[in-house]
Structure 1
C-alpha cells in the first residue's frame, strides 16, 4: 500500500545533510503539507527536531521501509518556491556548498504577525492556481481574451514614456538587448543627471520600469545602502507608483519579511536590494547589477558566491535579461565579453570627463600632496561650488614612524601599526587598540614618533589652513555624509564615501593614488581605477578632475576613459600566470591530513601540473594548513563535486566524540578573488 511522503531540505549547515530526505506525511497533515512550506521534522541521529522545507511530494510503495513522520507544518506560507530551490541548488553545487546556506541568505526568519496578515490578505502564492485557471467552463476568461488594455494601462502607469525611453535610447543597442533577453555589460554615462539623479540610477530605474511595464518583475542589485537610497529616489521619479520590494539588511525583521513575502506573489514588482536580492524568488524578466567590482557584492558567508556569479547562473536557468552596469569594467565581465557570453553596450554619445594627470614629478621632495596646478584648480572651483578631494584613509594620521630612523612604528603587543587620532595624541594600535604610552623603536631605540600619513581628518585640517574662509566637510566611515549643497566647500572623502553634490562637483582632486596602488592585492590596479572613475563621475559636466602622483597604464585608462581596454590588458597579463579570472581558484583550509586527502582526490582529475599551490601552514593556527587549486572553467563541475565529497568525508569521519572538534573539518571556498597562501 502506497504512503504519501514529502522530500524535505533540512535547514542545517552540516555538509552530509545537504540532500533531500523522505518523511512520511501523517493523515492529519496531508492537506497542509505542500511544497514550499516550513515544517519541523525529527532528526534521528541527533534525537531532536529540526526546521526544514518541503521541496516535493511523492509516494512510498515499499511497506517495509521505515520512515519518520513530519512533526509539524509551521505555516501555510509557501516561502520556498521551486524556482528558488532550484537556483539555490545550482549555486551551491557550483560552489561546492550547501543549498541551505544559500537559502539562509535570502529567506528571512519567520515573523508570525506579518505572515498572518499576508495570508489573510489572500495573496496568490507560487504553485496556487489563479482564479482564471480555476475557470473550467471552457469559455476564455476576459484576461485571456484581451490583455492589450492591461498592458497599455501598465505602461501608462509605470513607464513615463519620455523619461524612460530617452534614458534607454542613450545607450546604443540597449533596447534590443531588453527586447531579446540578452546579457550585456553597460558603460554608464559618467555625470550627474539633469534632474539631480546620477545617470547610473536613472539607467537602472528605466530598465526596471520598462521590464515592469512589459509584465515581468525586475531585480536591481547595488552594493550598499547609499546606492540603494539613490536608486529608490530615481525609481520614484521615473516610475512613480510602481510596486517596489526592498530587500535591505537595514530593514527591521518584520519589514524584511514583509518585502520577501511580496516577492512570492505572482504580481510583478521591482526588487531593489543588496547582494542577496539577486536570489529574490520573483519570476524575473531582468536582473541588473550595478558596479560588480565592489567588494560588498562578494558574499562573505558560506558558500561565498559573488552576486555576479549567482546572477549568471540565474540567467542561464530563466533566460531573463542580465545587465552588468558600471563606470568601469571588471576583468570578470571582460572575460565574458571576450568569450561572447555577454554583449558590450556603450553610450550613443560618449561623455568624456576632463581628466588632468599630475605626475609624480609634479610633486616636490618635501612630501607635498597637492601640486600647484591642482591647488589652483581647487581654489578657483571652490569659489563657485563644492570641490571633492578623495583620500586613501580615514582618521587623522593612520600611520606613524620613528622620528629618528623613519622605521614604521609598531605595537609591542601584536605588531600592528600605530596611528594618532589627532596631533599630539598618544599613539594607538590599529589592530588591538592598545595605547603605546612608553613606545621605543625596535630599530634604533628612539622614543618619539612623527606623522607619516594623512587621513581624512588631517587632510581637512591642512586644507582649512590653506583655504581660509571656505567650509571643509569630512566624509568617511566615522562621518557619513549623503549629500552636499551647491555652496562653496571642500569635501574630503575616503574612497567609496563620497557624497552626492547638488549639480555635481566643480572640481575633483584624487589624492594618495600612489599609496593606493601599493596595496599588496592582485586586483589593486583594477580597484583603483574603479574608485577613481566613480569619484570622477560625480563631477559636473566639464569640471576638471586631477589624478595626483600616478602614471602608467591605470592613469592613462582614467585620462582617456578607456576602462574596458584596461580590463582587457589585465586579463591578458593574468592568463599566462593562471590567476583569476583567467581560471577559477578554490581555497582549501583544514588540518594537514584533511587537506592532503582532498588534494589526493583532486590529483585523480588530471588537472594541469601547476594546478595546486601549497599546502602551507596557516600562521597563528596550530595544525591548520591552506592550499589553492587553480583549474579551467570547463573542469568546474568535476572539481566542485570532488571537493564537496572531500568535505563530506572529512565531516563524517571526524565528528565530535572521537577526540576531534568541529574546527578540524575541511572548508572549501571556490572562485576566490584574491588568492592568498
Structure 2
C-alpha cells in the first residue's frame, strides 16, 4: 500500500475565503478508502475543531515530476480525521461543473454541491452498499419496452429524422412544443410536450446512455412521469423531487451512481444528477422563473445545463410552447438549432377588447360579449377555462370615500379579502383590519380594487346558473379534470388538465398582468397564455381579452420565436440582458467603490449607479459582454473574499459581523 499520500479536500463551509482546496495527509489506516468523492472529516485551524468536506483529489508526491505541481512545503500536513462514508458521492464531473459554475457567478462551489449531493442517510446508504455487493443487485434495464413496441411512431409530429439523431450527433436544439394534449393508453391525459421528452429519454436509454429531464415544478414532473410509466422500465427511472422525504431522495441519488444508464427526472437540482455516460439534457419551459435558483450563487438551471453540456459533450434540448429571450440569443448566435413541428397546427387564439362593447355588465365582469357567448356555448359540451391574474377573493382593497389604496395600520402593507364576508387583513403581516380608519379621509368602508379567482368564480357562478364552478390556484391545487361540463377559474400556471381538453378558454386580466414592472413581463405573459392555450381541445376557441399590439399578434399567429427575436433586438440596442450580462454589487459605499475600481480598466464594461438602497448600503449594476464574464467574476469574487476576511469580532464578542459586500450575477429582476 502506498504511504505519504496527500488528499486535496474541499471544506464544506459557506465562507468565501475557504472556497479552495486544502491539503491534508492521508493516514495509512485510511488510505484504502481514501478515494475521490468520499465524505471526510478533518481538522480546521484550531486544535480540536473538525470540519466536514469532500475528498477531491489524491496525490502521491513520489509520482510527481521533480519540480512537482504542489508548491514546496517543508512543514507537516495535518492528517484527515476520518472518512465518513466509503461511497464516492461527489463525482469528479460534478465537482468540475460546480467549480466552473461558481467561478462564473463569483460564488462558492460548496453552495452548488449542496444542491447536487443530498444529505447522507445512513440506513439508506448501508442498504445500497449491501445491494451493490450482492450478485443479485444487477438490474436488467431492457430497452425493449418502448413506444415502438405499441405500434406508435415516435416523433410523428416532427419532420422525419430531425429528433431521432439528436443523441447520436450530440446536437443542441431549441424545439417548439406541439400545443395539444395526448391521451395515454391508461387513460391519463398529458401535454404533448411531456410525451416528446419521454420519447427522447427512452431513445437515449436504448442507446446505452443516461438522460436528464429538468422541469419547473411537480405538476410538470407528474406529466412526464406518466409518460415514462408507459414508455420506460420503472427500474430505469430516478425521480429527484423536492417533495420527497430525505431517505427517498437519497435513495434516488444513490441509484444514479450505478453503472447502468438511467433517466433522471426532477426540478432544477436534477441538472446536477450524477448520471453515468450522460447522453442528453432536456429542459422544459426554460423561461419559467422556477428554474432560477433562489440560493447563492443563484445559478439558473439553463446555465447549469449549458455548462454541463460543454464539459461532457452530450446533447441538449430546450423545449417549450414559447421561447425565452435567452434561448433566442443562443439560436441567433448559432449555438442552438431550431426545430418546429411538421405541421403548423396551433390553437385558435382570438384577441378581443372592450372597444364598442355595449353591455355594461360585460365590462363589469371583465368578459366581452363575444367571449361570453363562446363560453356559454362551450360549457354544454365540457369544461371551460377562465384564467385570471391573482388568487383570493379581493387581493387589494381601497377606501370607499377617497378611493386611495387601503393600508394596514400596523405595517402599512396592502389590505385584501380572502373570501366573501371575511374581515380584511394585511397581505404582509396578516393583521386583521378591525375598526379600520383611512389615514387620508378617515373613512371606514372598503371598495374592491382588483378581483381575484374567488370573486370571479362567485360572479360567473351567478352568470352560469346550474354549472359546476371549480377554483384552481395555490390554495386549491387541482391537477386533472374529467370531461364533464364545468367552469374552471384558475390562476396562471395552476390550470388543471382536462380529459380531451377545454371546450373554450378565456384569458382574462391581460392588462393587469402586463402592468407588472419587469423587463420580462411580456415574455412571461406570452408563456402563461401559450401554456394555457395548449390545453384547448381541437378547434376550441381561445379568447385573449384586453391585449393588443405585438403580444396579441404573437399569440394569435402562434409566433413566439418572432416575438423573442424582436425583444432580443430591442435589448441589444439598450444593452439589457441577455444581450449582455449583468451583476449587482451591494455593500457600503466604500466597499462598492473599491470593488468597481478595478473593473473600470476593462473594456465593454459599464456601471450603473451606485444608488442608495437600505442605508448605509448602496447598489451598483455592472453590465459587461460575455467575453469578459470570467474576468469580472474573478475581480468581484476577490473583493468578496477580501471583505469577508478582514472582518473582526468586536472586542469582548464571540461573533464576527456579517459581510457587507454581496454580489449576484444574472439577477432576472435587476432591470
Q: Which of the five TM-score ranges fits, normalised by the shorter chain?
A: over 0.9
Which of residues 467, 470, 481 is equivalent to 1:470?
467
Q: Tell me the CA shift for residue 2 of structure 1.
A: 7.5
Residue 147 of structure 1: aligned partner: none
Decide whether the 8 Å contact of 1:163 with 1:238 is kept in 2: no
In the alignment, the residues of structure 1 paired with residue 356 and residue 258 of structure 2 have an alpha-carbon distance, to the nearest angstrom, of 60
In the alignment, the residues of structure 1 paired with residue 252 and residue 641 of structure 2 have an alpha-carbon distance, to the nearest angstrom, of 35
Task: Name the SS of the counterpart of 1:555 in structure 2.
Answer: helix
Q: Tell me the CA shift for residue 532 of structure 1.
A: 0.5
Q: Deviations over 1:60-91 (max 9, x none)?
A: 46683221110000111110111111111111
In the alignment, the residues of structure 2 paired with residue 164 and residue 550 of structure 1 have an alpha-carbon distance, to the nearest angstrom, of 40
In the alignment, the residues of structure 1 paired with residue 333 and residue 260 of structure 2 have an alpha-carbon distance, to the nearest angstrom, of 36
Work out whether 1:636 is the aligned partner of 2:629.
Answer: yes
Q: Tell me the CA shift for residue 447 of structure 1.
A: 2.3
Aligned-pair RMSD on alpha carbons? 2.1
In the alignment, the residues of structure 1 paired with residue 656 and residue 24 of structure 2 have an alpha-carbon distance, to the nearest angstrom, of 30
Task: Name the SS of the counterpart of 1:184 in structure 2.
Answer: strand
Residues 1:168 and 1:661: Cα distance change in structure 2 (over 3 Å): farther
Residue 137 of structure 1: aligned partner: none
Decide whether the 8 Å contact of 2:143 with 2:232 is kept in 1: no
In the alignment, the residues of structure 2 paired with residue 164 and residue 11 of structure 1 have an alpha-carbon distance, to the nearest angstrom, of 49
Residues 1:98 and 1:458: Cα distance change in structure 2 (over 3 Å): same
Matches within 5 A, 1:257-656: 257-282=250-275, 283-361=277-355, 363=357, 367-608=364-605, 611-619=606-614, 622-656=615-649
In the alignment, the residues of structure 2 paired with residue 107 and residue 569 of structure 1 have an alpha-carbon distance, to the nearest angstrom, of 40
Q: Deviations over 1:574-598 (max 9, x none)?
A: 1111111111010112222222211
In the alignment, the residues of structure 1 paired with residue 21 and residue 347 of structure 2 have an alpha-carbon distance, to the nearest angstrom, of 55
Residue 34 of structure 2: aligned partner: 33
In the alignment, the residues of structure 1 paired with residue 394 and residue 656 of structure 2 have an alpha-carbon distance, to the nearest angstrom, of 43
In the alignment, the residues of structure 2 paired with residue 107 and residue 155 of structure 1 have an alpha-carbon distance, to the nearest angstrom, of 28
Task: Name the SS of the counterpart of 1:526 in structure 2.
Answer: helix
Work out whether 1:191 is the aligned partner of 2:180.
Answer: yes
Residues 1:662 and 1:200: Cα distance change in structure 2 (over 3 Å): farther
Q: Using structure 1 for the length normalisation, give the TM-score.
A: 0.92
Residue 230 of structure 1: aligned partner: 223
Residues 1:450 and 1:123: Cα distance change in structure 2 (over 3 Å): farther
Task: Name the SS of the counterpart of 1:56 in structure 2.
Answer: strand
Q: Tell me the CA shift for residue 247 of structure 1.
A: 0.5
Residue 128 of structure 1: aligned partner: none
Residue 126 of structure 2: aligned partner: 116
Task: Name the SS of the counterpart of 1:451 in structure 2.
Answer: strand
Which of residues 76, 80, 86 is equivalent to 1:70?
80
Residue 203 of structure 1: aligned partner: 196
Residues 1:46 and 1:201: Cα distance change in structure 2 (over 3 Å): farther
Q: Deviations over 1:76-117 (max 9, x none)?
A: 111011111111111111111111110001201100111011
Q: Which moved more, 1:213-222 or 1:229-238?
A: 229-238
Work out whether 1:215 is the aligned partner of 2:200.
Answer: no
Decide whether the 8 Å contact of 2:643 with 2:660 is kept in 1: yes
Task: Name the SS of the counterpart of 1:121 in structure 2.
Answer: helix
Q: Tell me the CA shift for residue 630 of structure 1.
A: 0.6
Q: Which moved more, 1:374-383 or 1:436-445?
A: 436-445
Task: Name the SS of the counterpart of 1:442 in structure 2.
Answer: coil
Which of residues 97, 104, 119 is equivalent to 2:114?
104
Residues 1:641 and 1:492: Cα distance change in structure 2 (over 3 Å): same
Decide whether the 8 Å contact of 2:3 with 2:28 is kept in 1: no
Decide whether the 8 Å contact of 1:159 with 1:210 is kept in 2: no
Residue 146 of structure 1: aligned partner: none
In the alignment, the residues of structure 1 paired with residue 526 and residue 355 of structure 2 have an alpha-carbon distance, to the nearest angstrom, of 21
Residues 1:471 and 1:44: Cα distance change in structure 2 (over 3 Å): same
Task: Name the SS of the counterpart of 2:334 in structure 1.
Answer: coil
Which of residues 157, 172, 181 is equivalent to 2:145?
157
In the alignment, the residues of structure 1 paired with residue 392 and residue 622 of structure 2 have an alpha-carbon distance, to the nearest angstrom, of 39
Q: Tell me the CA shift for residue 547 of structure 1.
A: 0.4
In the alignment, the residues of structure 2 paired with residue 171 and residue 257 of structure 1 have an alpha-carbon distance, to the nearest angstrom, of 40
Decide whether the 8 Å contact of 1:123 with 1:265 is kept in 2: no
Q: Tell me the CA shift for residue 230 of structure 1.
A: 1.0
Q: How many residues align?
A: 647
Decide whether the 8 Å contact of 1:247 with 1:277 is kept in 2: yes
Q: Deviations over 1:461-483 (max 9, x none)?
A: 11110000010000000001111
Task: Name the SS of the counterpart of 1:178 in structure 2.
Answer: coil
Which of residues 246, 250, 254 is equivalent to 2:247?
254
Decide whether the 8 Å contact of 1:654 with 1:665 is kept in 2: no
Decide whether the 8 Å contact of 1:299 with 1:307 is kept in 2: yes
Task: Name the SS of the counterpart of 1:157 in structure 2.
Answer: coil
Decide whether the 8 Å contact of 1:168 with 1:207 is kept in 2: no
Residues 1:667 and 1:63: Cα distance change in structure 2 (over 3 Å): closer
Task: Name the SS of the counterpart of 1:175 in structure 2.
Answer: coil
Decide whether the 8 Å contact of 1:164 with 1:210 is kept in 2: no
Decide whether the 8 Å contact of 2:146 with 2:232 is kept in 1: yes
Work out whether 1:174 is the aligned partner of 2:163.
Answer: yes
Residues 1:655 and 1:294: Cα distance change in structure 2 (over 3 Å): farther
Q: Which moved more, 1:396-405 or 1:409-418?
A: 409-418
In the alignment, the residues of structure 1 paired with residue 500 and residue 365 of structure 2 have an alpha-carbon distance, to the nearest angstrom, of 30
Q: Deviations over 1:297-340 (max 9, x none)?
A: 00001110000000000000111110000000000000000000
Residue 50 of structure 1: aligned partner: 51
In the alignment, the residues of structure 2 paired with residue 30 and residue 383 of structure 1 have an alpha-carbon distance, to the nearest angstrom, of 74
Decide whether the 8 Å contact of 2:468 with 2:485 is kept in 1: yes
Residues 1:511 and 1:245: Cα distance change in structure 2 (over 3 Å): same
Residue 92 of structure 2: aligned partner: 82
In the alignment, the residues of structure 2 paired with residue 392 and residue 239 of structure 1 have an alpha-carbon distance, to the nearest angstrom, of 38
Q: Tell me the CA shift for residue 171 of structure 1.
A: 4.6
Decide whether the 8 Å contact of 1:571 with 1:582 is kept in 2: yes
Decide whether the 8 Å contact of 2:147 with 2:154 is kept in 1: no
Residue 135 of structure 1: aligned partner: none
